[in-house]
Structure 1
């Protein structure tokens, strides 16, 4: 990857890491499915009439939207509801990186270098240590649901890659426009019907509105567009491990904005994640910047 795209991947990880703080605050005012409804309604519906549909079939568009949004978040919310803590759930969700790599090897017949394999193993060790240090209990059913969410995210990564070169922003806008109606139906069925939205309208303050706008415009437009762009340009084996930085930035954001503590074990584990990613992004034999750029622009 070029230095510019590495910075873009870091930006996406920061945006999505801080997003967990936003979600934690927002869910105190808006139920999960209603929260997802507002997210995608604001992300897709205002612009879908002005942004040209990406040059892919409706079938592929729906498949990406469902796997990236509806299925992923439905399993994630159910998993948390069944006993998986939100923090540990965010960590387990990053197993999508390894699902993405496995699917990529199968679908695109790509090869994983030994340095990439070692880098991924080191980064995963860091993630495991962070999760272990949280001392959170979770149910088996909750764990399986979050793993299903991670697999759904990995599937969307492969579908985006298969779709070929596209306008990433248009892809995010149009896939987002597919999701409000299903989430509205789920909110109506499981969260109290129309009374829930009346209560939200009466109680929603500027903090809750800010959370909805952040997750709709910053996390979805900037984060989603940046991630889709990287998936178009590079092998999923190279891009997917950057998601392992999301829990790291989530913990840092929680420390900065919510006063949550960070243990020495978490700091050391975060260092392992960064080290693993550095190894993963430097698979060639040379450590010179020119060789780095030459090796990582192969997928453009």
Structure 2
């Protein structure tokens, strides 16, 4: 049984933040492993059908309201299901057939930078010179990770990075498209409905591609990868995500994406012997620099929280506002 002291330590915001990075960073490697046994869209669809049913079941029991009501709530669920669940994971799983989980995690870390760019185009939000520079650096970082060269633009690794970049764009676009809509639907219910709907789309498109359960190679490794993605990276990680979102807000929580490549690379090295080269490390550094320019005030607030995370002041620094939107 977990003692009260250990429980209090685990419940601290910085500890939960690292735990979420570990669970989600490990998911990139679990996908890489599972794709040796599952066709990609069927794999993603099964993961989110099970996880979505579990989270929606939790919402039925625990939330004040679990069914969407009205146009805005159904549109929000539809957008999240189509872009953040179905579109993002379709391209991610297809891309990870060609690149490692660690490289995929590095490309996905571009999400906050693309979100700012999409918001500037679609919502007329002001994009300053500093933010434009950050966006350009992010794109440059992805190009370095891909080892882009016009002569090898159609190489296997470049195609894989391109597919993961489309996955990242789908996630960022989905987040921006939901902003105009107002909803009081509890987040767990919204995520549960979106996961179930997105899973249906993934399974339907997979079936059109000829994917079926008959092609699955059911081995212990296949089962464990699906269990990890469904329960740990799905149900448990989203529970941590909901808690952190309530505590620190979406801006600070975006920073988890910059720990995920580290944990993905560590798991990939320990479990698969995957190594990342200097170009990938340099590309990740440039992507993070782009993010630091785009969200520099939020980053400064989180760094201040980390410096004092051993006391109550640290919790307040993590949980407090970081001032107006970055400019």
Which residues of 2 match residues 206-285 of structure 1 at below 5 A? 206-227=220-241, 230-231=244-245, 234=248, 236-261=250-275, 281-283=299-301
Deviations 1:73-117 (A, max 9, x none): 223344556xx5244344223221211233456759589897x99
CA distance in 2, matches of 1:107, 1:221: 32
Residues 304 and 317, structure 2, Cα contact 8 Å, conserved in 1: no
**Number of aligned positions between the proteins:** 289
CA distance in 1, matches of 2:316, 2:124: 23
Q: Which residue of 1 aligns with 2:202?
A: 183
Identify if the C-alpha distance between structure 1 residues 117 and 228 changes in structure 2 by more than 3 Å, giving closer, same or farther. farther
Which is bigger in relative contact order (C-alpha 8 A, separation at least 6)?
1
User: Unaligned 5+ residue runs, structure 2?
Assistant: 1-10, 61-65
TM-score (norm 2): 0.67
Give the secondary-structure state (helix, strand or coil) at the position aligned to 2:274.
Answer: coil
Mapped pair 1:16 → 2:21: no
What's the offset of the Cα at 1:124? 8.6
* RMSD of aligned residue pairs (Cα, Å): 4.5
What's the offset of the Cα at 1:27? 1.2
Mapped pair 1:99 → 2:107: no
CA distance in 2, matches of 1:34, 1:130: 28
Give the secondary-structure state (helix, strand or coil) at the position aligned to 2:300.
Answer: coil
What's the offset of the Cα at 1:158? 3.9
Point out the more displaced range, 142-151 or 160-169. 160-169
Residues 100 and 240, structure 1, Cα contact 8 Å, conserved in 2: no
Q: Which residue of 2 aligns with 1:174?
A: 193
Deviations 1:153-203 (A, max 9, x none): 1133346666567644333322212123222222222134xxx31343xx4
Q: Which residue of 1 aligns with 2:321?
A: 298
Residues 56 and 188, structure 2, Cα contact 8 Å, conserved in 1: no
Mapped pair 1:157 → 2:175: yes
Q: Which residue of 2 aligns with 1:44?
A: 52
Residues 97 and 154, structure 1, Cα contact 8 Å, conserved in 2: yes
User: Unaligned 5+ residue runs, structure 1?
Assistant: none
What's the offset of the Cα at 1:250? 0.8
Point out the more displaced range, 260-269 or 4-13. 260-269
Point out the more displaced range, 140-149 or 12-21. 140-149
Which residues of 2 match residues 97-136 of structure 1 at below 5 A? 97-103=112-118, 107=123, 109=125
CA distance in 2, matches of 1:21, 1:295: 29
What's the offset of the Cα at 1:49? 4.9
Q: 1:67 aligns with which of 83, 108, 113?
A: 83
CA distance in 1, matches of 2:244, 2:129: 20
Which residues of 2 match residues 197-212 of structure 1 at below 5 A? 197-200=213-216, 203-212=217-226
CA distance in 2, matches of 1:49, 1:291: 34
